[in-house]
Amino acid sequence: MKNILVALVVCCFQVAAVAQSKIEKQLQGTWKMTEMNVGGVYANAVTQQITMSKELESQLTPEKRAVFNTNKQAVLDNIGASRVMFNGNKISYTITGSDNEGTYIVKPQTDGYILDITDGNGSKDSLAIAIKDGKLWILKIDDVNHAELVFTKLAVK
């Protein structure tokens, strides 16, 4: 009985290692941001649309709406120009005009994976990730923000 239990535990670890290795291989390359949902504002660089929650919409004064409309295209352009690149265990990214690089580790989680990033300054961040339908989904939830970023992989030239 003890041998069966040990074999089962070893088998579970091997399955988890194979799954982790698979996602690490899938991550390799350059990904372009196509969608972003942050704090009730959803932006899609492909459809060139930005929408917001009813709560945020109700808070817009005519002046704030004018600023929103003026900056709308710049926001969509920044999203479309955002990239994340995975090369081995190294990561570099440009997200809405801000550049950074560092290293990463992928850890299995009950319903997906955690991407632990250590940037060049030694700062650490943990993000939930998944690859679904050929898209990389990155989720960041903290005390201030709920951010969901969606990327498509760029073809190798």
Q: Which tens digit of pLDDT belongs to each residue from 113-150?
A: 999 999 988 999 999 999 999 999 999 987 777 899 99
Q: Is 139 left (phi over 0), alpha (psi -120 to 50) or beta?
A: beta
Which architecture, in CATH terms, is 2-153? Answer: Beta Barrel (2.40)
Q: Higher confidence at residue 6 or residue 46?
A: 46
Tell me the domain boundaries of the chain: 2-153
- Report the share of the chain in percent with pLDDT over 90: 69
pLDDT band at 157 (very low <50, low <70, confident <90, very high): low
Can you tell me the distance from the alpha carbon of 146 to that of 32, in angstroms, rounded to the nearest whole number?
A: 20
Distance of CA 117 to the CA centre of its chain: 12
For 99-117, the pLDDT digits (tens) are 999 999 999 988 889 999 9
Measured in whole angstroms, how far is the alpha carbon of residue 156 from the centre of its chain? 20
Distance of alpha carbon 32 from alpha carbon 95, whole angstroms = 10
Helices marked H in 82-129 — which ranges?
none
